[in-house]
Structure 1
Amino acid sequence: MSSGGSQPNVRALGRSAARGGAVTLAGQGLRIGIQITSIILLARLLGPADYGLVAMVTAVVGIADLLQDFGLSRAAIQAPSITRGQRDNLFWLNLAFGAAAGLTVFVAAPLVALLYGEPALAVITRWLAIPFVVGGMAAQFRAGLLRDLRFGVSAVIDVVGPLLGLVVAVAIAAAEGSYWALVAQQVVASGVMALGAILAARWWPGLPKRHESVRTFVSYGLHFLGAQTLTYVSMNVDTVVVGARFGASAAGLYNRAFQMMMLPIRQLTWPAAKVAMPVLSRLQDDAEQFSRFLVRGQTILLNAMVPFLALAAALAGPVVEIVLGPMWVDVVPVFAVLAVGGIFQAAGFAPNWVFMSTGNTRAQLQFALVSRPLVVVGVLLGSIWGVIGVAAGYSAMMALIWPASLWWVGRVTGISVRPWFVSGARTVVAHSGAAAGAGFVAALVGPDHPWVAILLGGVVMTVILGLELVLWPAFRHDARQLVRTRKLLGRSRREPVSVGTEG
């Protein structure tokens, strides 16, 4: 990674990133609303066992989602340039991988049922094979939208799919009250998003072209796939262990806690990566600008997520009462522990941006080979103490992996990670301290008034954060960074930006 670069081009990329961030975050705001609505409505129409059955299947077969993409969409986004022929070849590869993944899941259905001793899982597994096929078909169309910085179109697709999936799920749940609502939700959402990407694309694949080499894309994708597979296994082994050891109802309770924890993480890290990846890929030869964009991106990401996760951990009781209802009270301690781990999990996403945007997926795979087995060990050891032990084991490993990933990135790329670590740790400490104060005060309200507890906790946290801004100059500097970024977002909406791509 070298120094230097064209300043006007960097400014253009900054405005593109700001505009993309504004549009993407707006779309994600709608998507978060859909997700929250889904959690609230379906939790009152379905029981823990319904969630448990579907969660037990997806924990095992969800790895096929990685296989159907094979990292090729990421490779297409990251590449400095891509020809039309290469894009065509990548489409056919993704289609083949998607079909193979779907067929494998379909054939493996009896084995999934046998693993858990639940015959109903076989038919669920067969239906959940469909999204892998359509996902492989649409992978390069979706990658093309991001590569061409068409964030608005991508945001619309990512909202409409889940919305229609929710409508279908609620209709089925209200009529039947069974797990088929959750199955239909996944199938419909994936199908709509795939169709939207295909219709919105400005290209249509031709026949495969033997003279257009995609070897570098496959190499990138192979290492990325290895790292992501290990990450997936480590993030889903907890559900498998809970389902196999404690049954469908326990798996459903754990799944609801885990999904609530992951809601702000998934809804903010993916859109942030959608914006950051194309920009960092273009800045990878300008070390100074690359590092500056990276630290600022992490600051924005963590200040958007950590307050929610920290406050959720501190106010787990009222949050679960309002979101899921009284029948899910056993979720409270599990959710509180997982939310703490979610803070460190969120901090660990930015190192992956560096691996992927610089093409260092081999180093990413090497780190996954070292770090991800630790999560499996933590979960297995924690299961000795039941479901809460599984959550504690998972969260403890997330806290360990974050600083280790920073060290690994610095060793591989030569980037100074000290400012990066200090900035992240400052954000975690500031918001966690404020949330702890909020939790202490809200606990005085008692369990009979959850809305009052949340309102009071939010006010107390805001006051404490205000005091931290006054007394803590470095934290105040982070706040100024966020304000400057907001101004850039507003300016980007007024200034036309065009960043072309090859292909």
Structure 2
Amino acid sequence: MTDSVKDIDNRTKQGLIWYTVLPFLMHFVRIASAIWLARILSPSDFGIMGLVTVLFFYCDLFTSFGFSNAIIQRKTVNSIHYSSYFVFNIIISSGLFISFQLFSPSIAKYFSEPLLDDALKVFSIMFLLSACIAAPQANLKRNLNFKIMAIIEGTSMAISIVSSILLALNGFGFWSMIYSMILAQFVVLILTLITSRERLEFKFNGQAFKQLLNFGVWDFFWGQAVLLGENVDKLIIGKFLGTTQLGFYDKALGFAQMPNIQISRRLSQVSFSAFSRVQDDKAATSNYFTKIMALNAFICFPVFLGLSAVSRDFTLILLGDKWAPMISSLSLLSIAFLLASITAPIVSMNMAIGSIKQQTLIRFFCLIVLTVSLVMLVEEGIEAAAFVLILFYSVQLLASYYLLSYKFNWGWVKLLNLLWAPLVSAGVMYFVVSTIADSTWFELRLMNFITAISCGVVTYVALFLLIPSSSWNYLRNKVINRLMIKGERSNS
């Protein structure tokens, strides 16, 4: 290993720890706050917020245009790349802000939701805040400063959670979520500008812009396909089934995808930066990929299958009876995002080694399948939409790994070797958890719920320590060695 690769290796490990462990701990706080908000607000409030965020995050892609990942993926960049990106962002964001002020009434009329008008006008402030964050944040990611990013995000998340709950308790309805998100984004802006080493100027260079565009244009199309894939279901459900059914679906979707966002995507962001820095070293990229896939599967499989197993009690006990229509969707969507979590590191690897065009075309093909299937089946209800999402992520997983295996001459056996142990362990855990959750051991449903989760955790940990598998040997050996060291210290 050269010194530069050692340095990248150290920063990657630090990034994985900070950018996954801290958000993973905050993840439980986020779940608790989401449960609290669900008990205070109505499904319709979440339906309105679902439409607002869909429209915003789709339009926000036009401000970045894939340049953030282009900066990360490039072997060399300088200050003029960052400044050109910043200028482009400001111009596009300002145009979008003005557009939403003008056309929000028409959007509200299309969705037959008058409250959407003012909500979109206020929330469009996020465009201006995001425009100032993007370039400094790209600098932090390129330099693998994920520790700083984790601290910034943890701070903003805490502010968002506290402010949204306080506002909801005081009767602000869906405005509590809008105001809290704007406040949190403002905090991110201030902290990012303070911590980023890159000082931006309002300068634009055509040559630098063109260099970023070569990669960025395909990353932009990729982003379009990703965002449409993640939100076209909400738009179709909102249009054909109404905001109340969308509220049920959106809440189930939020809980199901939360582990994917907080764990798999974070691992993928760190791995994309790491893969990009060593993209010419096939041995190093293969080593990183193997370890990150194993770590991702080890954490995500039990979380998603566990959530699917306890979806009924999770909904009724923690959210209340008014959310009962989302139970089946939550169980099915947990399986869908299990497939998405497996796909995330594969996609990051493909993009880092330069296969972004092929990966984007795969996503667009899957998006067509998703959209057509949703339009055909949406009248069957939100459970049918969840089934369609399982199909969508299954096709994307198979196609994405085929692309990666072709580039590296890997077979399907390699993927199975990485996944079989956590899948078997999580499958056994699912059987234990669902059996206990459906039992009547205790008169109180809450006691059954807690017992089911506790037994599931014990089962999975026991299988992790007992099942021999090359995919997670390095994880198990670290855990066993630390347990032995602690045992020796306590005996001495």
Q: Please, which of 111, 120, 128 is the counterpart of residue 133 of structure 1?
A: 128
Q: Please, which of 414, 429, 447 is the counterpart of residue 434 of structure 1?
A: 429
Larger relative contact order (Cα-Cα within 8 Å, sequence gap ≥ 6): 1
Aligned to 2:395: 400
Structure 1 residues 152-171: aligned runs within 5 Å: 152-171=147-166
Partners of 1:30 and 1:159 within 8 A in 2: no
Q: Please, which of 197, 204, 220 is the counterpart of residue 202 of structure 1?
A: 197
> What's the secondary structure of 1:213's corresponding residue?
helix
Q: Please, which of 228, 234, 243 is the counterpart of residue 239 of structure 1?
A: 234
Q: Please, which of 211, 219, 226 is the counterpart of residue 216 of structure 1?
A: 211
Partners of 1:67 and 1:97 within 8 A in 2: yes
Residue 284 of structure 2 is aligned to residue 289 of structure 1: yes
Q: Please, which of 103, 110, 115 is the counterpart of residue 105 of structure 2?
A: 110
Partners of 1:224 and 1:361 within 8 A in 2: yes
Question: Could you tell me how far 1:228 is from its partner in structure 2?
Answer: 1.7
Question: Could you tell me how far 1:486 is from its partner in structure 2?
Answer: 6.7
Aligned to 1:481: 474
Question: Could you tell me how far 1:30 is from its partner in structure 2?
Answer: 4.3
Q: Please, which of 327, 331, 336 is the counterpart of residue 336 of structure 1?
A: 331
Residue 141 of structure 2 is aligned to residue 142 of structure 1: no
Change (3 A) 1:193 1:415: farther
Question: Could you tell me how far 1:35 is from its partner in structure 2?
Answer: 1.5
Which region of structure 1 is more displaced relative to structure 2, 411-420 or 8-17? 411-420
Partners of 1:379 and 1:391 within 8 A in 2: no
Whole-Å Cα distance in 2 between the matches of residues 203 and 335 of structure 1?
A: 42
Question: Could you tell me how far 1:369 is from its partner in structure 2?
Answer: 2.2
Deviations 1:49-80 (A, max 9, x none): 11111112322332012222111111112221
Whole-Å Cα distance in 1 between the matches of residues 235 and 176 of structure 2?
A: 21
Question: Could you tell me how far 1:448 is from its partner in structure 2?
Answer: 6.1
Question: Could you tell me how far 1:464 is from its partner in structure 2?
Answer: 4.1
Aligned to 2:486: none
Aligned to 2:489: none
Partners of 1:60 and 1:112 within 8 A in 2: no
Partners of 1:61 and 1:105 within 8 A in 2: no
Change (3 A) 1:484 1:77: farther
Structure 1 residues 268-417: aligned runs within 5 Å: 268-412=263-407, 414=409
Question: Could you tell me how far 1:94 is from its partner in structure 2?
Answer: 2.2
Partners of 1:441 and 1:457 within 8 A in 2: yes
Partners of 2:265 and 2:344 within 8 A in 1: no
> What's the secondary structure of 2:75's corresponding residue?
coil
Whole-Å Cα distance in 2 between the matches of residues 111 and 166 of structure 1?
A: 31
Name the aligned partner's letter for residue 218 of structure 1: L
Partners of 1:27 and 1:158 within 8 A in 2: no
Whole-Å Cα distance in 1 between the matches of residues 240 and 436 of structure 2?
A: 37
CA RMSD of aligned residues (A): 2.5
Question: Could you tell me how far 1:117 is from its partner in structure 2?
Answer: 1.0
Whole-Å Cα distance in 1 between the matches of residues 53 and 335 of structure 2?
A: 24
Partners of 1:39 and 1:324 within 8 A in 2: no
Aligned to 1:187: 182
Whole-Å Cα distance in 1 between the matches of residues 83 and 359 of structure 2?
A: 27
Deviations 1:188-239 (A, max 9, x none): 2222212211122223212425375232212211101111211211221211
Aligned to 1:494: none
> What's the secondary structure of 2:471's corresponding residue?
helix
Deviations 1:159-209 (A, max 9, x none): 111221222222221112411111112212222212211122223212425
Q: Please, which of 9, 14, 19 is the counterpart of residue 14 of structure 1?
A: 9
Whole-Å Cα distance in 2 between the matches of residues 161 and 86 of structure 1?
A: 28
Partners of 2:350 and 2:403 within 8 A in 1: no
Change (3 A) 1:155 1:88: same
Structure 1 residues 246-265: aligned runs within 5 Å: 246-265=241-260
Which region of structure 1 is more displaced relative to structure 2, 103-112 or 127-136? 103-112
Instruction: For structure 1, list consecutive stretches of 5 or more residues without a partner in the other structure.
Output: 1-5, 490-503
Whole-Å Cα distance in 2 between the matches of residues 452 and 327 of structure 1?
A: 21
Partners of 2:65 and 2:217 within 8 A in 1: yes
Change (3 A) 1:377 1:152: same
Question: Could you tell me how far 1:266 is from its partner in structure 2?
Answer: 0.6
Structure 1 residues 39-58: aligned runs within 5 Å: 39-58=34-53
Partners of 2:329 and 2:383 within 8 A in 1: yes
Partners of 2:87 and 2:204 within 8 A in 1: no
Whole-Å Cα distance in 1 between the matches of residues 97 and 351 of structure 2?
A: 26
Question: Could you tell me how far 1:344 is from its partner in structure 2?
Answer: 0.3
Question: Could you tell me how far 1:446 is from its partner in structure 2?
Answer: 7.6
Partners of 1:86 and 1:212 within 8 A in 2: no
Change (3 A) 1:135 1:335: same
Aligned to 1:495: none
**Count of residue pairs the alignment pairs up:** 483
Q: Please, which of 47, 55, 76 is the counterpart of residue 60 of structure 1?
A: 55
> What's the secondary structure of 1:205's corresponding residue?
coil
> What's the secondary structure of 1:117's corresponding residue?
coil
Whole-Å Cα distance in 2 between the matches of residues 472 and 419 of structure 1?
A: 18
